[in-house]
Amino acid sequence: MTAKDVLVQGVDDLLEPFQTACKPVSEFRVGTEAEKFGWLAQEAKPLPFQGEISVQSVLQQLQQFGWQPEREHPQGEVISLSKDSASITLEPAGQLELSGAPFDSVHKTAAEFDQHFSELHALSKALGITWISLGFHPFATQDQLPHVPKLRYGIMERYLPTRGSRALDMMRRTCTVQANLDFASEDDAMRKLRVSLALQPIVTGMFANSPFYEGRLGERASERADVWLNMDPSRTGLLPFAWEKDMSFRKYVEWALDAPMFLIKRNDKVIANTTQTFREYLQHGAHGERATSTDWRTHLNTLFPEARLKNTLEMRGADAQGRALTVALPALWKGLLYSDSALRRAESLITPLSADIVQRARPEITRRGLQATLLGQPLAHWASEVVQIARAGLEELDVRNERGENESVYLDPLERLVREGRCPADVLRSEVRGAGDFTARVVSLTAV
């Protein structure tokens, strides 16, 4: 237990991460996280973790741009980098993730990602590394991918396959783009959580971008979304209880308490603890340890619903994208959730939807993207409404860049696709069919 850590005395203590996250609207920010796969085009294989040209060498060279290395323990490999309020981290198979700083404008997010890609390109071209931004690895089988020696990943790789048939795919073959947003109060957080959960599968269809599977065209617009339909149901999904009008921080805590744990971390030591829920750990302890505030925050990070409540609200439904649509995601959610009038319109839009109705639509959405249906309407119809609400919200907020553009400009490429009734996967399919060199064509279309 660290000096800043405290023992949890009861359920009331578990509300603290959410209560202390409430902030004035003037302090609202948006953070963006985006992942990508490293690929060695000449050798046609995934970027290894170690070696002369590897994930490790990329992390080493990124330090020339002011990024500071971080290790889990003094003898460990570099597994992340930090600079200012941003970080570069690794997923279990070496997927590289930029966890961007929380900004007061999407314009700053766009500049941050431009800078990130500029730094990556400066070093990757000479090394022969291409970065592929898709929701699911287009070529690799599980045994072709490296392993990142992060302490909790070994526990997860052993435990999660007992809870879901595609758990290893989730960890090792998927990439996402995620937007993190703030809330002002418990009521504000619950309104935003319900809207986010209801709209998340629609956003999944809009951003479906993983139509490939092990070197061929797959059966789904979003292979990544299908992975999440086959994951541990105790920690994933649409949280039907959160759709009720009496939803509260305490109800989220009660749900999280009954989710199985992964581990207990003490300094540089990790103890597997997959046989208890957090409620059981709180009541009885384990391995000579008692539940602390840090244990609780760690546990919250091991829950993966489509919209996740922590010190921010995390929007988790989208496949990884190229640069333009990467920035469109935080713009979309900011427009929907940070304008009072847009949030009310979004609440009105989802009135006919229930968790059961939306859940039943999810398998078709994974297969067909915007060509799926929801309540008898094409998903493209719902998506068009969502984009219009978000655009109106951003225009109302009216945060402008040096060219006088407000943040709705980042919705333009998304709106064009929605108007055509297409998701990114549809575009890729049309471009790849008939290609002489399938691998080279996919890489050229999806490199960032």
Domains and CATH numbers, the chain: 11-446 (3.30.590.20)
Q: Are 94 and 47 in contact (CB under 8 A)?
A: yes
CB atoms under 10 Å from CB of 247, counted, come to: 19
Tokens 């496949």 map to which residue? 319
d(CA 186, CA 192): 10
Q: Are 397 and 338 in contact (CB under 8 A)?
A: yes
Cβ partners under 8 Å of residue 163, min gap 6: 231, 232, 233, 234, 260
d(CA 410, CA 188): 25
d(CA 379, CA 365): 8
Q: What is the pLDDT of residue 435?
A: 75
Q: What is the pLDDT of residue 3?
A: 47
Angle between helices 412-420 and 323-337 (to 10 degrees): 90
Cβ partners under 8 Å of residue 162, min gap 6: none
Tens of pLDDT, residues 361-379: 999 999 999 999 999 999 9
Q: Are 445 and 209 in contact (CB under 8 A)?
A: no
Q: What is the pLDDT of residue 353?
A: 98
Q: What is the DSSP letter of 381?
A: H
Q: Name the 3-class secondary structure at 217.
A: strand
d(CA 51, CA 42): 16
Q: Could you say which residues of the chain have pLDDT below 50?
A: 3
Q: What is the pLDDT of residue 2?
A: 52
